[in-house]
Amino acid sequence: MKILKKEKSDLKLAMILLFPSMFLILLLVAYPMISNIQISFFEQPVNPLLPATFVGFGNYIDILKDGEFFKSLGLTFLYTFLAVAGSTAFGLAVAIFFNRPFRFRKIARSLIILSYVTPSISLVFAWKYMFNNGYGIINFLGEDVFHLFDHAPLWFDNPISSFILVVLFAIWRYFPYAFISLLAILQTIDTTLYEAAEIDGASTWQKFKIVTLPAIMPVLVTVITLRSIWLFYMFTDVYLLTNKVDILGIYLYETAFAFNDLGKAASISVILFIILSIVIVLSRKRVKF
């Protein structure tokens, strides 16, 4: 009897202590989400004083009938997959390389994270200048110095080369995040494990597969999941670099702000949320971390 009563009062205290954070979460996350879902069923005018028209699933049906949406979706999956795979693999490779003592290691490490900490807008301008058709250094080197091509390619005007460049940009910009996270966990691996593997005659690949990979797996999965979510919703980098790669973030922005169709834009974000949740739940189940 006594124990039961104690448990009850603990619960009350826990509720009181949790209340402020629960309240904030409800206010900042749940309320906008519910409001967004509500807007998605309406044809919403920009002026709040004008009445919104209830359209039921009209917005959802419009989107699911739009070929451009599926094109964007496919492109976004491809972009996310390539950029996450590339930036994680490259980050891991550099982290392994850095996981040993050498001179100027600290300076080199700080230089590596430069692309991650610099604001997007300055990096985008640097890339645009590098690939500029008239005075870009890439075309200057390719055409005038090394004579790799007769006519300078229009890098950001061709959909395929634009896509390759935005993926390369994402890999280059975001690999330091994987690098920092993975280097931290690499440094925790006991070197005696490698020595033991060496005595057993393990090759470099075997050492990586048997010792390194299992040890870094929890961090690796987190890095991949987070980066996938962030890149799936990418807008700024791609929008600023080119208008030839219509990923979902751009499709959503144009619907909301170029066409001022707030209801449709809200329903796109609900669909994206559902897709992304399914992908994450499935991937977490398969990897079991």
Partner 1 sequence: MIKKGLTIVGTLMLAAGLTACGGGEKQGADGTTTIEFMHSSVEQERLAVINKLVEKFEKENPDIKIKQVPVEEDSYNTKIVTLASAGKLPEVLEVGQDYAKVMDKDQLIDKEAVKESLEATGEGNFYDGALKLVKTEDGKQYTGVPISGWVQGIWYKKDMLAEKGFDEPKNWDDVMAIAKAFTDEANKKYGIALPTVEGGFSEQGFSQFALSNNANVLDEKGNLNVNTPEMKEALAYYKELAQYTMPGSNDTTEVKDSFMNGTVPMALYSTYILPSVFENGNTDNIGFAIPEQKSKAVFGTVSALTISSGLEDTEKEAAQKFTEFLAKPENMTEWVLMSPGGAQPVNELVTENVDYQANEIVKSFGELSTEIAASFNEIQVFGLVDGKNFLKMGDITSSGEFPKLINNITVGGKDIDKELQNTEEAIKDVIN
Select from 69, 116, 127, 156 the one that contacts partner 1 (CB under 8 A): 156
The span of 109-117, 207-215, 230-238, 258-266 binding partner 1 (CB under 8 A) equals: 258-266
Q: How many CA atoms lie within 13 A of 88 on its CB side?
A: 19
From the CB of residue 249, how many other CB atoms can be counted at a distance below 10 Å?
Answer: 21
- Note whether 288 binds partner 1 by CB under 8 A: no
Nearer to partner 1, 31 or 70 (CB): 31
Calpha distance 33→184 (Å, rounded): 35
Select from 257, 274, 277, 278 the one that contacts partner 1 (CB under 8 A): 257
Calpha distance 256→260 (Å, rounded): 5
Torsion on CA atoms 15, 16, 17, 19, rounded to nearest 10: 80
Distances in Å between the alpha carbon of 280 and those of 96, 115, 157, 226?
Answer: 27, 27, 34, 10
CB of 55 to partner 1, least distance (A): 16
The span of 19-27, 69-77, 171-179, 202-210 binding partner 1 (CB under 8 A) equals: 19-27
Site for partner 1 in 98-117 (CB under 8 A): none
Nearer to partner 1, 135 or 146 (CB): 135
CB of 39 to partner 1, least distance (A): 9
Site for partner 1 in 50-89 (CB under 8 A): 50
Select from 161, 193, 254, 275 the one that contacts partner 1 (CB under 8 A): 254
Nearer to partner 1, 121 or 278 (CB): 121
Calpha distance 143→136 (Å, rounded): 11
Site for partner 1 in 225-244 (CB under 8 A): 243
Nearer to partner 1, 167 or 262 (CB): 262
The span of 15-23, 67-75, 196-204, 225-233 binding partner 1 (CB under 8 A) equals: 15-23
The span of 98-106, 108-116, 133-141, 173-181 binding partner 1 (CB under 8 A) equals: 133-141
For 282, list phi and psi in degrees, rounded to 5.
-60, -45
Site for partner 1 in 38-57 (CB under 8 A): 44-50
How is residue 148 written in tokens?
């790799």
Cβ neighbors of 218 (< 8 A, separation 6 or more) are 185, 289
Select from 53, 260, 277, 283 the one that contacts partner 1 (CB under 8 A): 260
Select from 89, 126, 154, 282 the one that contacts partner 1 (CB under 8 A): 154
Nearer to partner 1, 27 or 287 (CB): 27
Binding site for partner 1 (CB under 8 A): 12-13, 15-16, 19-20, 23, 27, 44-50, 132-135, 152, 154, 156-157, 243, 254, 256-260, 262
